[in-house]
Amino acid sequence: DTGVSQNPRHKITKRGQNVTFRCDPISEHNRLYWYRQTLGQGPEFLTYFQNEAQLEKSRLLSDRFSAERPKGSFSTLEIQRTEQGDSAMYLCASSSGVGDSGSAFFGQGTRLTVV
Amino acid sequence: KQEVTQIPAALSVPEGENLVLNCSFTDSAIYNLQWFRQDPGKGLTSLLLIQSSQREQTSGRLNASLDKSSGRSTLYIAASQPGDSATYLCAVSTSGSRLTFGEGTQLTVNP
């Protein structure tokens, strides 16, 4: 296993279009996280899955955003009716922590540009 | 609400210098603290993880300390190299397993 994989690496879309990103976590990790990062800022938490259950969602995750993790393996993040403010790097991370003891491992991110 | 602050925002040093990056957090009830490195346009690479019960962790030329009661952590980089140039991010885990990040310190090591 080579780590957390995200696809696509880059996405350019027109305002109003829907986009979907995919994250494949490290295979033995049961926890999966999505973060968003804008230029010059640290990543901001969006949502968290333990296995297939979505346990926490940030207020940043508006109703245009939806995330799934069917069967507790890969995850998808969909943004509907994209806006220019959605332009950012979307990062996925996974961990296998007992409690909160595990390190989080991040993918290379998907850079979204909304034009 | 947990808030994480990193000082300085940017740092430029000559090669070979030892340096310290600072991180502070407002809520001391953390589970762990993690330091990451981020190269431009890339994802995050985990450098060191300190559990709440630990005082420090070391990996090669890197040493991270944690003072939970005062809400502070430092990342010490010994004998800096141009390849260390990157943004260094501090993140703390509190309830719910989410990480709260600082805005990072952008480090430039000049040959």
pLDDT tens-place string over residues A5-24:
999 999 999 999 999 999 99
Q: B68 by DSSP, 3-state: which?
A: coil
pLDDT tens, position by position, A46-62: 999 999 999 989 988 88
Neighbours of A100 (CB within 10 A): 21
Q: Please answer whether residues B91 and A42 qualify as being in contact, where contact means their C-beta atoms are separated by less than 8 angstroms.
A: yes
Contacts of B93 in chain A (CB under 8 A): 100
**DSSP character for A8?**
-
Q: Please answer whether residues B18 and B80 qualify as being in contact, where contact means their C-beta atoms are separated by less than 8 angstroms.
A: yes
Contacts of B86 in chain A (CB under 8 A): none
A81 bridge partner residues:
none
B22: closest CA of chain A, how far (Å) = 15
Neighbours of B25 (CB within 10 A): 23
Enclosing H/E stretch for B14 = strand B10-14
pLDDT tens, position by position, B79-110: 999 999 999 999 999 865 789 999 999 999 99
Report the mean per-residue pLDDT for chain B. 94
Burial class (CB in 10 A: 0-12, 13-18, 19+), B18: exposed
Interface test with B, best of A9, A37, A89, A100 (most B CBs within 10 A): A100
